[in-house]
Amino acid sequence: MYELIRREFNLKRDVVEIGSGIFPLLGHSLREYQLKIGGGTVTVYDSKVWKGYPTKAKLINGYFNDKVKLEKNSLLVGLFPCESTEMIVERALKENLDFCIALCGCNHSNNPSLTTREYHEMLIEQLKEQISLEKFLKIRYFPKACFGNRHNGFPILLVKNKSKVKKFALPFKMR
């Protein structure tokens, strides 16, 4: 997940990780990378996060919610953020932010009869309809090597800006 985020996004910006669990390893790695490239911040939210963990990321022992202020152009990330998944997506859509979320195996919809796969598909279809025109959705899948069969195939959703096509002027007039 760290490698994917590092490859796909400019990290000289405010990065907010939601749902780190006890050990904020992802946020820590992203912060270490920022220190190498000389820019950005990482803030990690989870009521379970161990505040004593040795890291230069900012650890917030509490839940991320609507009241948390986000800088323009923040990047939201979550590794199996579980029940906060939809809130992250909604917030990112509302503020037109980039995000990267590895979906967990739960069904967080109002329809309990959906399988995990059906729930993921529904979420992806909704997202496709809702992202702004200047962004696009990229889907990657969790590799088996990381977690064994349990997380194999679960989607990782990346929403990011489309690259800008440079406008240029011809050095002569067209007839």
Ligand X SMILES: C[S@@+](CC[C@H](N)C(=O)[O-])C[C@H]1O[C@@H](n2cnc3c(N)ncnc32)[C@H](O)[C@@H]1O
φ and ψ at residue 51, rounded to 5 degrees: -65, -25
In whole angstroms, how close is the CB of 173 to ligand X at the nearest point?
A: 58
CB of 151 to ligand X, least distance (A): 9
Shortest gap between Cβ of 114 and ligand X (angstroms)?
A: 19
- 84 interacts with ligand X by CB under 6 A: yes
Question: Does residue number 19 form part of the binding site for ligand X (CB under 6 A)?
Answer: yes
Tell me, by CB under 6 A, how many residues bind ligand X. 17
Q: Are 50 and 22 in contact (CB under 8 A)?
A: yes
139 DSSP β-pair partners:
157
Assigned token pair, 35: 């220190």
Among 16, 57, 64, 76, binds ligand X (CB under 6 A): 64
Q: Which residue is nearest to ligand X (CB)?
A: 19
Cβ neighbours around 33 below 10 Å, total: 16
Residue 150 in tokens: 């349990």
When asked if residue 80 is in the footprint of ligand X (CB under 6 A), the reply is yes
Strands 155-161 and 98-102: antiparallel
Q: How far apart are CA 25 and CA 31, in angstroms?
A: 10
* Residue 81 lies near ligand X (rule: CB under 6 A): yes
In the bound state with ligand X, the residue whose beta carbon lies nearer, of 83 and 125, is 83
Side chain identity at residue 93, one-letter code: L
CB of 163 to ligand X, least distance (A): 29
d(CA 159, CA 127): 9
Contact residue for ligand X among 46, 55, 99, 142 (CB under 6 A): 46
For ligand X, which stretch binds (CB under 6 A), given 27-35, 45-53, 151-159, 163-171? 45-53
CA distance 88 to 132: 16
Q: Which of 71, 73, 83, 152 binds ligand X (CB under 6 A)?
A: 83
CB within 8 Å of 116: residues ≥ 6 apart = 105, 106, 107, 154
Interacting residues with ligand X between 87 and 126 (CB under 6 A) = 104
Positions touching ligand X (CB under 6 A) are 18-21, 45-48, 63-64, 79-84, 104
